[in-house]
Amino acid sequence: MRLEITGRHVDVTPALRQLIDKRLARLGRVLNDSVISAQVILTKEKYRHRAEIVVHARGDHRMRGLGEGTAWPVSLRQAGEKLEQQAKKLKSKWHERKRRANSGARVVNAPTDEVPANNRRVVRATRYPVKPMSIEDAALRVDSGTETFVVFRNADTEAVSILYRRKDGSLGLIEPD
């Protein structure tokens, strides 16, 4: 992480630098080390100590925390807490995006009233794209991929059909009447 510290009417002492490093280390733990750079601007005006921290995280995200107090630890803590709130929100967005990306492939249990005698569960896929294609294209897709079946809209008849791999290795076609 690149760190830039600017002091306005302030001498940046090693103790102050250590305080800043400790605050940014907490932020780095929240974001799993995805912080690219940080700019810290320390300003002293009479009795006020202002700390402004701008953090650039991966994905071109910028977070800004501003803290004011009568001492440096107070103002840095306020700025750090504001940044941690923003970082937690950003991290939850990243996490939700991953969950949404996997939701198409995710399989959920279907609600069933009865339990079958052989203890098999009915598993319902949330979404499956039905694309228009010919029977030959569907056969190529089943042969080339790891899919055991393809649901498609037959280009000739406009009906939804299912092409599947049988246990003997040949392909089976299910078409509506």
Tens digits of residue pLDDT in 26-41: 888 888 777 888 899 9
> For residues 6 and 39, is the Cβ–Cβ distance under 8 A?
yes
With tokens 């001498």, the residue in question is: 11
**DSSP label at residue 81:** H
Burial of 117 (0-12, 13-18, 19+ CB in 10 A): exposed
| Span 63-75, pLDDT tens digits | 899 999 999 999 9
Domains along the sequence of the chain with CATH:
2-102 (3.30.160.100), 128-177 (3.30.505.50)
Q: Rounded to whole angstroms, how far apart are CA atoms 148 and 2?
A: 50
Per-residue tokens: 19: 């305080």
Question: pTM of whole model > 0.85?
Answer: no
